[in-house]
Amino acid sequence: MTRINDTKTEAAENNAAKNDAARTFDTQINPPKINAKKKKIFGRFLTLPFLAAIMTVMLFATSSQAFSAAVSFSDVNRSDWFYEPVMTLAGEGIVNGYADGTYLPGNSVTKAEALKMILQAAEIPVRETDENEYWAAGIFEAAFERGITSESAADGAQAATREEIAGYIVRAMDWTHASFKESIFADTNDTNVNILYTKDIVTGSKESDGYYFYPRNQITRAELSTIIVRLSGAQKERTGQTAYTVKDPLKDPECFMKEQPLSADDFAKALLNMAKNKDYTHTFIYPKSYGLSTDATIRNNVMGNVEEAYGYVFSRYPEYFAVTGKIHMSMSSSSGRVSLTLELGNHDFSQEEMIYMQNTFESDCDGIAGKLIAGGSIRGGMSDVEKAKAIFAYVACNNKYDLSLAPASYTGYGATHNGTSVCQGYAAMFNMICKKCGLVVSGITGEGQGGGTTEDHMWSLTMLDGEWSHTDVTYADPVPDRAGRYLAEYFNASSAKMKKDHSWETSEYPI
């Protein structure tokens, strides 16, 4: 995982009588003083008058440019839960829309169409068909030969159900020998469905009385697109094509918190949901059937997954962990049931104060985004680069680097409410405003060099008009502060440029 400075792990003494175990994992980044910036305060700045000259008044409009300037569908919007998977597959030429410019995400999918996408994701070869053959003849032959389905091409035009899709995938991926503890879904005990749930391929829907899969419903184009993106990721991991150990929780449109998380992926989703909902203390109960205990080996494995997950979400989502500085974990058992309690905290503020600060931070960012839109700094027809540049300029010109390193300056609240922060506050503020304006961003942690020192540092990754790039508002803001000025070179920067005074684990980030 990412290198985090001042990370402390404390293991409580084993209490044999209570069979309890507790561990505290604290995270706080101590960013560099950015001495290198002092050498550049007369460098290439953009001034507020110049910035104002390039901004005019119009309304903000979302776009699909983050994926491909040539791909767009009138019925697929950035706010839709299926936006990213659909646009990802469309950008890769795997799915297409209709002549009228729609995608029709709610339409059903035929068995032939579904098998084609599943075989492609599983990297199963299919022979080319002759001109006089049914277009999916080769697909059904390949599926039949591998035991994926006993159906023939004559069944190809039938709409596929969600349960049938689960069976196709499990057999295509050769997961038939996988197992699961107990069904998570209230409406099906189907083995294939539950195997896909354990593999993070399907999630189902959370209702008031539990999770439902709706197995006999016809699968929609939006649902299958989402599943295929996850399946492609699973295939890449299986064949060693990716170095990622934790999937991006927000790549999962439903991204719900499992009642009994176990893997690092599960805990990443759980922690992200806790942070987004300001549910800073949450207890998970594991029935005896899960086979958990407070045995040292099992305990350390579970807590190791929590630590990995926390390091992942903390570094990539500074906007949701804008006031979080540590996590405390404790496990206990009674009558075969194991309780795991996770507490998100801060070294200097209570959880009640954290809730107030996070709410204030988010409200401030709402107000800033509205101000930029109403004032014309962000308007319809602008590219992602232009929108992000306006946000970058605002943050740089309305925040000061806090050389005193006050506790609040390690938070997004310090950046938006006090106007002073260190790198965590800059990144949280920039990322949250970007998200309010429909842009795709991520946090990144690594090291920054300046003034002859190398220290831990956080900045932002931005997906602008289809390309990932770096944006570091902290380094762009001069020290001492110079009103209305900032270094433009730290906006939308390439990795080659950033490596001059930044370093990071390249295997952990998409850039």
Q: Band of the pLDDT at 295, cuts 50, 70, 90?
A: confident
The tokens describing 491, both together, are 């906006």
Residue 339 CB: number of other CB atoms within 10 A? 16
Measure the CA–CA gap between 488 and 225, rounded to whole angstroms: 38
Range of weakest confidence among 135-144, 154-163, 477-486, 488-497: 477-486
pLDDT band at 240 (very low <50, low <70, confident <90, very high): low
pLDDT bracket for residue 56 (50, 70, 90)? very low
- Locate CATH 3.10.620 in the chain: 35-61+349-508
Out of 24-38, 189-203, 420-434, 452-466, pick the least confident: 24-38
146-176 per-residue burial string, b: 16 or more CB within 10 A, e: under 16:
eebbebebebbeebbbbbbbbbbbbbbbebe
Chain segment 362-409, per-residue pLDDT in tens: 999 999 999 999 999 998 889 999 999 999 999 999 999 999 999 999
Mean pLDDT over each residue of the chain, to the nearest integer: 81
Report how far Cα 198 is from the mean position of its chain's Cα atoms. Answer: 19
Report the pLDDT value the prediction gives residue 107, as an integer from 0 to 100.
Answer: 95
**Tell me, what's the pLDDT at 426?**
96
| Pure H helices in 191-295 | 191-198, 221-238, 264-276
Give the CATH class of 35-61+349-508. Answer: alpha beta
pLDDT score, position 241: 54
* Beta carbons of 443 and 427 less than 8 angstroms apart: yes
Distances (CA, A) of 24 to 7, 9, 156, 328, 487: 10, 5, 55, 4, 39
Q: What is the pTM of this model?
A: 0.58
Q: How many CB atoms lie within 10 A of CB 220?
A: 18
Contact status, residue 480 vs residue 406, Cβ threshold 8 Å: no
Is the per-residue pLDDT at 414 higher than 60?
A: yes
Is the predicted pLDDT of residue 316 greater than 50, yes or no?
Answer: yes
Q: Which SS3 state, helix, strand or coil, does residue 325 take?
A: coil
Give residue 21's pLDDT: 47
- pLDDT exceeding 90 applies to what percent of the chain? 50
| DSSP label at residue 377 | S
Contact assessment for residue 453 and residue 32, using Cβ atoms and an 8 Å cutoff:
yes
Q: Is the pLDDT of residue 313 over 50?
A: yes
Q: Rounded mean pLDDT of 234-255?
A: 54
Q: Which residue has the tokens 């596929």?
A: 160
